[in-house]
A = this chain, B = another copy of it.
Amino acid sequence: MAGTDASKTAPALDGPAVILVEPQLAENIGMAARAMGNFGLTDLRLVAPRDGWPQKSAHKKGAHQAASGAAHILEAARLYPDVPSAIADLNVVYATTARERGQLKRVVGPQEAAADCIARAGAGQKAGILFGRERTGLTNDDVSLADAILTFPVNPAFASLNLAQAVLLVGYEWYSQATGAVLPFAPVREGLNAVPARREAVTSFFDYLEAELDAAGFYPPDKKPIMARNMRDIFHRLAMSEQDVRTLRGALVALVQGRRGGRNQPRPSRRKTASAEEA
């Protein structure tokens, strides 16, 4: 989805390192970088990518295309020969895996891992998350270097997430918690739309509506009070702004004038014969 606003800057947040262990396809490295960019993660580490790094021009192009604007993350990626060197400076390491490994490590979901990463960053510690090879994931030896296992609350009958999707979910949970899940925009409410209409505009609208409905024979005898209350209920649910009241009143006037043959409103031709008040 489009929507990137280049005038906005990412919040400066100290997120966990994303460590891709022996990634195979440049496109997947690029997609992971893009997912990181979506959620304000910047520390990308590559352990022995199959095709090397920086990659040959064709591969590099694929990675950058897939990164789709997160080239700055790719450019800043650091290369390591093995997992121990990639995690050397970290204080805590999570290993993502979709299957049980027979290791008695703590197993957490993205929410718990994100909360821990945020708490540690606040204490000046640095966390990192290991992501495995596209086809085979992390080896048991890779997992044995981590403090805890990170897995996802997925449908157990279909648990396979691709690399970039796993990075995306980790980034999403981390960014949501780090920023309080602030959404990038809120409904535009400015001018006449900024606030609910003053009540005199609303009651005036009701008065006009009810008078016209009365004139049109809408209310059966003795039913007007309850029917009018019900109608007011419906319109109160709209929490109308001044602009809403004007729009709806304008539509109402058009319907009434059209029915009466008012000069300013084109009369729908099909309604001509149904117009009782006119010629």
Residues of A at under 8 Å CB distance from B? 1-6, 8-11, 34-35, 37-40, 68-70, 96-100, 102-109, 111, 132, 135-137, 149, 151-166, 168-169, 172, 175-176, 179, 181-189, 193, 241
Contacts and interface: CB of A to CB of B under 8 A. Distances in A.
A9 B156 CA distance: 7
Contacts of A179: 153
A184 B181 CA distance: 25
A4 B158 contact: yes
24 contacts: A1-B137, A1-B161, A2-B135, A3-B98, A3-B137, A4-B98, A4-B157, A5-B156, A5-B157, A10-B155, A34-B162, A68-B162, A98-B184, A99-B184, A99-B185, A107-B185, A107-B187, A151-B183, A151-B184, A153-B172, A153-B181, A153-B183, A154-B175, A172-B172
Contacts of A165: 35, 38, 164-165, 168
Closest 8 CB pairs of A and B: A3-B98, A3-B99, A8-B156, A100-B185, A1-B98, A37-B158, A3-B159, A153-B181
B137 A156 contact: no
Give the most central of A34, A38, A164: most B CB within 10 Å.
Answer: A38
A187 B124 CA distance: 29
Give the most central of A11, A100, A153: most B CB within 10 Å.
Answer: A153
A7 to B, nearest CB: 8
Given A155-B38, A165-B35, A3 B187 contact: no
Given A1-B166, A2-B136, A4-B157, A100 B35 contact: no
A106 B154 CA distance: 29
A187 B106 CA distance: 7
A109 to B, nearest CB: 5
B97 A3 contact: yes
A158 B10 contact: yes
Given A70-B158, A104-B241, 10 more contacts: A1-B160, A2-B99, A5-B156, A9-B157, A38-B154, A69-B158, A100-B187, A103-B187, A104-B187, A153-B179
